[in-house]
Amino acid sequence: MNSQASVSNGHAPSVVNTSDAALSSMVSPEQNRYANILLVCSWAGIGIMAVTFILYMAGLFNPMVAPSQMPQYWGLSVHEYAKLTNAPSGWSWLTMVSHADYMNLVGLAFLGLVSVIGYITLFFNYSMKKDIPYAIMVGLEIIIILSAASGVFHVAG
């Protein structure tokens, strides 16, 4: 087995990352499971996005702002756009999900939650293995992403 060689840096004693028998190119079970979750969920998200976008472009499901009207708005800042189109902020778009333009956000929001789904499984894996530092870091990451998703961080318009 080859090693990543190391050199003396003049300060610390040099160390060679030796061919540690414990290390192998086998993927850890939790990393494998996490990768599978990302793979399946990301394709599901892409599929949802493609379908809802076709519906929107076809003018189905009564969009709040029809695609043909978008050139009037897409040059505006997000604050101006929200004011003129009464666009919702935060999760209020869920109440308008029957309209094709907001239906499109389902796939995008799902993509934004894929990592959290993967991290929840990691949290349980690391907790069961009593790998406390990693369980804590994964737990904190879940809280951070969910806080960002919840809309508690608000930008004044």
Partner 1 sequence: MIGQFFAHTSSIFASTSLAVANAASTPGMPWWVWPLALMVTTFFIGIVSALAGIGGSTLFVPIISSFFPFNFDFIRGTGLFVALACSLSAGPKLLKANMASLRLVIPLALLASSSSIAGAYLGLALPQNILKILLGVLITGIALVFVVSKNSEIPKIGRPDSLARYLNIGGAYYESSSGQDINWTVWRLPQGLLLFCVIGVIAGMFGIGAGWANVPVLNLLLGAPLKIAVGTSMSLLAITDTSAAWIYLNQGAVLAIITIPSVLGIMLGSRVGVRLLNITKPKSIRYIVILMLLFAGLKSLLDGLGWG
Write out the binding residues for partner 1, residues 60-119 only, by CB under 8 A. Answer: 67-71, 74-78, 81-82, 87-91, 101, 104-105, 107-109, 111-112, 114-116, 119
CB of 2 to partner 1, least distance (A): 5
The rounded distance, in Å, linking the Cα atoms of 147 and 157 is 20
CB of 121 to partner 1, least distance (A): 12
111 within 8 A of 42, measured Cβ to Cβ: yes
67 within 8 A of 54, measured Cβ to Cβ: no
Q: Does 124 bind partner 1 (CB under 8 A)?
A: no
117 within 8 A of 41, measured Cβ to Cβ: yes
Q: Which amino acid is at 22?
A: A
Considering only residues 15 to 54 of the shown chain, the ones binding partner 1 according to CB under 8 A are 15, 17-20, 23-28, 30-32, 34-36, 38-39, 41-42, 45-46, 49-50, 52-53
Considering only residues 1 to 20 of the shown chain, the ones binding partner 1 according to CB under 8 A are 1-9, 11-15, 17-20
Contacts of 104 (CB under 8 A, 6+ apart): 49, 52, 53, 56
